[in-house]
Amino acid sequence: MTTPEPAAPEALLPGDHERRLHPGSWLFVLLQNLRQFIVPLLVLLFAGGRRDDGYPWWLPLIGVGALVVVSVWQYLTFRYRIDDDRLIVRSGLLERSVRQIPYSRIHNVAIHQNLLHQLMGVAEVRLESAGGTKPEAQMRVLRMPEALALEQLIRDRGQGQDAAPTMDGATAPVTEPAGITLLALSSWEIVKLGLISNRGMVVVAGALALSFQALPERTMGRWLVDYGREAFGYASGFATTWLAKGVAIAGVLAFALLLIRAFSVLLALLRYHGFRLQRQGRRLTVERGLLSRSRSSVPRRRIQAWTMREGVLHRLFARRTLEIDTASARGNDGQGNGNAQRGLDALAPIAPPATCDAIVHDIALLRSWPPARWQPLHPRAWLRLMLGDVFVTVGLCVALAWFLRGWGALGLLWLPWSMFVARRHAARAGYAVDAAFVAVREGWWKRTWRFAEIGKLQAVELRQSPLDRRFGMASVWFDTAGANPLSTPLRLRFLPLAEAERVHATLAGEIARRPLRW
């Protein structure tokens, strides 16, 4: 994956004739098809193995043979040709299709290599755009030099159709240098990322949930109880007092958490080994992965919004995470994951705050980031934030009182902590709006910065709930392309009503006046 880019892509990808994929492409198509049909094939295999009445054990082999024929036929019918301004792809088994993809419409060039790809010196290439639920073209597979040459050719010809605006409104060709490394993560930085992230806990919890579903009823629960008793009994066997037993049990729990963190570090090394972020002309390229290497490339102008995150462990290591929303839809990643994020997401999985700011300066050209002064929220924003916890706490206390009677009132002791958290959150939260971008800062325990260029905003909305009207405040919400529906939206919450109306009117006028920048 770190092969130097070819100096002349046209030499490897001549545009005067149609080209086939790598001769071994049918094998990778077959493996992908087997992944999709492995369950019915196993059902046929084991159903035949359990019968003694002459059931045809070779029936699954017919299914595999049919998949081989389909895979070879797909390879024989797939063609692509390099044109001056577009890529032309011909494919189809019975129903033929001709797909023409302009270079300027390709938002992401993703190159993927697993172990088998690396052994054969090939790679899978996916060309993705902003719309749709699947790649515009998926080439499984090309020789690695051809894949890199195709990526460079799309980058060069795609940015040749763009132009950099000048001060007088005219356009000028882009003359930025290529191949500038903005971030390269060492192994120690990736270890820090594994210690900070909680991916190991998520994977373990998912594995336990799957085990409860797949194993016979109560088997997993019985194993957990038996092994848990054995572990805690073994630990408490060395202690004679209750204090010593508590310390021993705490040691067992600490050891289990340590193993989960070690698993998180392993997952981080597998995913982010050799991570490198480069700016090549007007495109960004990210390489990463240990056993399975991936390389993604998107134009800088496709970035719609930015997010910085900083948790408690981030602050311990003086690090942050920098993520982006791109104008690429969510869809199938070509590996059977229907909800995969297409395009880039994390430009800096872990980096010092100064490095994250430098990346923003270089890519978004926001010289005024970070804001010199953050505007505060409404003076009673902390009370508005606390009301949700009040309703939940009171409801929980009523439910506990039904079973525990007077002891249920102890749940009210949570309210002082809620008040403290709400005050800290409101004191730290803020927003900033200038001629270039709009930004919001939220969180106290886990901190988040989210911002976008004004030219990338699609809509602005003023919102007021009944409680907001009671407190004399309002919120301003913004829509951007490519936003993750599960992530925190870009919004300015709990502003004084007059200030919210002023921001809403000002930015609505700016959005209407400026053309949308894709």
Residues 372 and 471 grouped into a single domain: yes
Residues 206 and 225 grouped into a single domain: yes
Residues 411 and 470 grouped into a single domain: no
Residues 496 and 398 grouped into a single domain: no
- Give per-residue pLDDT as tens, 411-430: 777 888 889 999 999 999 99
Residues 496 and 416 grouped into a single domain: no
In this structure, is residue 394 part of a structural domain?
Answer: yes
In this structure, is residue 223 part of a structural domain?
Answer: yes
Q: Are 495 and 377 in contact (CB under 8 A)?
A: yes
Task: Round to whole Å and give the CA distance between 515 and 134.
Answer: 28
Q: What is the pLDDT of residue 341?
A: 44
Q: Are 280 and 178 in contact (CB under 8 A)?
A: yes
Residues 373 and 442 grouped into a single domain: yes
pLDDT at 217 over 60: no
Which of 35-44, 206-215, 433-442, 469-478 shows the lowest mean pLDDT across its residues? 206-215
Residues 410 and 465 grouped into a single domain: no
Task: Round to whole Å and give the CA distance between 151 and 156.
Answer: 9
In this structure, is residue 305 part of a structural domain?
Answer: no
Task: Round to whole Å and give the CA distance between 20 and 174.
Answer: 33
Q: What is the pLDDT of residue 300?
A: 86
Which of 55-69, 106-120, 300-314 shows the lowest mean pLDDT across its residues? 55-69
Q: How confident is the model at residue 223 (pLDDT cuts 50, 70, 90)?
A: low
Task: Round to whole Å and give the CA distance between 338 and 334.
Answer: 8
Where does 104-173 show beta strands of DSSP type E?
Answer: 108-113, 122-128, 137-143, 164-165, 171-172
Q: Are 501 and 462 in contact (CB under 8 A)?
A: yes
Mean pLDDT of the 254-283 span:
88
Q: Which helix (H) or strand (E) holds 394?
A: helix 381-404
In this structure, is residue 332 part of a structural domain?
Answer: no
Q: What is the pLDDT of residue 282?
A: 80
Residues 250 and 206 grouped into a single domain: yes
Q: What is the pLDDT of residue 57?
A: 64
Q: Are 384 and 470 in contact (CB under 8 A)?
A: no
- Give per-residue pLDDT as tens, 232-259: 565 555 556 667 767 777 777 788 788 8
Residues 210 and 267 grouped into a single domain: yes
Task: Round to whole Å and give the CA distance between 340 and 335.
Answer: 9
Residues 449 and 373 grouped into a single domain: yes
Q: What is the pLDDT of residue 188?
A: 95
- Give per-residue pLDDT as tens, 137-151: 899 999 999 999 998
Asked which of 231, 250, 272 is the last residue of a domain, the reply is: 272
Sign for the CA dihedral angle at 109, 485, 348, 116 comes to negative
- Give per-residue pLDDT as tens, 277-327: 999 878 889 999 998 999 988 888 888 899 999 999 999 999 999 999 887
The CATH number of whichever domain residue 497 belongs to comes to 2.30.29
Locate all alpha helices (DSSP H) within 161-241, ordered by sequence. Answer: 187-196, 199-214, 219-236
Residues 457 and 499 grouped into a single domain: yes
What domain range is 498 assigned to? 366-377+429-513
Sign for the CA dihedral angle at 2, 198, 183, 338 comes to positive
In this structure, is residue 505 part of a structural domain?
Answer: yes
In this structure, is residue 254 part of a structural domain?
Answer: yes
Asked which of 215, 241, 272 is the last residue of a domain, the reply is: 272
Q: How confident is the model at residue 507 (pLDDT cuts 50, 70, 90)?
A: very high
In this structure, is residue 139 part of a structural domain?
Answer: no
Q: Which helix (H) or strand (E) holds 355?
A: helix 353-363
Residues 454 and 393 grouped into a single domain: no
Asked which of 241, 272, 303 is the last residue of a domain, the reply is: 272
341 DSSP assignment: P
In this structure, is residue 43 part of a structural domain?
Answer: no
Q: Structurally, how many domains does the chain consist of?
A: 3
pLDDT at 54 over 60: no
Place of tokens 């980031």: 369
